Copies of this chain bind each other. A is one copy, B any other.
Amino acid sequence: MKRKVTLKQIAKELDVSISTVSKSLRDSHEISEDTRLKVQAFAKLYNYKPNNIALSLKNKKTKTIGIIIPEIVHHFFATVISGIEQVANEMGYNVIVCLSNESFDKEVINMEMLATGSTDGFIMSLSKETQQKKDFHHIQEVINQGMPVVLFDRITNDVLCDKVIIDDQMAAYEAVDYLVGLDFKEIALVTTVDYVSVGKLRTDGYINALNDHNIPVRDELIVKIEDIDHCEEPIAALLESQRPKAIFAVNELFAVTCIKQANKIGIRVPEDLSVIGFTDGIISQYSSPSITTVSQNGARMGGKAAKMLIDRLELDDENEQYTTQLIETELVLRESTPTL
């Protein structure tokens, strides 16, 4: 078992100083070509690679980004990580991932752990508990210490930092607008209760779209789901009583449930009913029929967040111009809406 080789070992072997070895490997003109080539050959032979930890300590930068998210077993977050990872890698950074499991305490612990030297900055999405408690001291603390933070998706206005989100309201507007363009007049909405911020925004987008097309907003076409695990009944009730020709659902699960319940009572999708969902996950892609959805573009979101963070890390400009980037959404047309 040959352990990792260090400058010191190479220096001893070749009977030169550590400095000479270091400089040779960095192609310094201070070193004669003779010595330089000799050292380089030796280093190559022993597969010398500078120790990252030592470099981190010396340079006071780790080239590592900390990611803290509520859950990884969630397609959206997985795509975001994927996006972050790709951009980070291209720019020479690694990512270290911590899961809060929607717990405030774990979010705080993870953050403090990584903040003590392990990472240069953070990309994070708030846990539910954190959003509920509205306690962001751990984030503020890290920012005060000079580490940049980028919040995405589940953000807060109580912390000043860079942010990346999608324009939920506009995205919902466009989805509904698309349905109107298909000549549907009576478009149902399956949404969440209003205190879920994104649900509210998407509902607003729905209402605005109808208003702009002079279509009356009818309350009986709107279902607000309280408990996501028991959405079947209210959706079935909507289908039975209103027999809508089109539905906009504010998430993937609601959309697929609409289709399932419709099938049960003999309503065919897309022939008798069109459905558009939100969040372009696995369900939308592989359910049968596949579902037309508003894609949140997690990968792009992650990529953008990574770029913002790294830019801030590399331009230690100290300019406090924090920005909030909006990621464009995209309507992914599939089988749950009629083909034009």
Chain A interface residues toward B at CB < 8 A: 1-4, 47, 49-54, 56-57, 62, 64, 71-75, 78-79, 81-82, 85-86, 89, 94-99, 110, 112-118, 141, 144-146, 253, 256, 259-260, 263, 281-283, 286-288
Contact = CB atoms under 8 A, between A and B. Distances in A.
Contact of A54 (B72, B110, B117): B117
Contacts of A79: 73
Contacts of A97: 81, 85, 95-97
A146 B1 contact: yes
Contacts of A57: 51, 53-54, 57
Contacts of A253: 286
A259 B253 CA distance: 20
Given A51-B117, A118-B53, A144-B2, A82 B99 contact: yes
Nearest to A76: B73
A144 to B, nearest CB: 6
A167 B272 CA distance: 45
Contacts of A95: 96-98
A72 B81 contact: yes
B3 A145 contact: yes
A1 B145 contact: yes
B78 A94 contact: no
Residue with the highest number of chain B CB atoms closer than 10 Å, among A62, A79, A145: A145
9 tightest Cβ-Cβ pairs between the two chains A and B: A52-B117, A53-B117, A51-B117, A49-B116, A96-B96, A283-B286, A282-B282, A256-B286, A97-B97
B53 A62 contact: yes
Given A97-B97, A281-B282, A116 B50 contact: yes
Nearest to A259: B288
Contacts of A115: 49
A121 B163 CA distance: 34
B81 A256 contact: no
A146 B3 contact: yes
Contact of A64 (B1, B96, B112, B288): B96
Given A72-B78, A256-B286, A282-B281, A99 B117 contact: no
Contact of A94 (B72, B86, B114, B256): B114
Contact of A78 (B78, B141, B259): B78
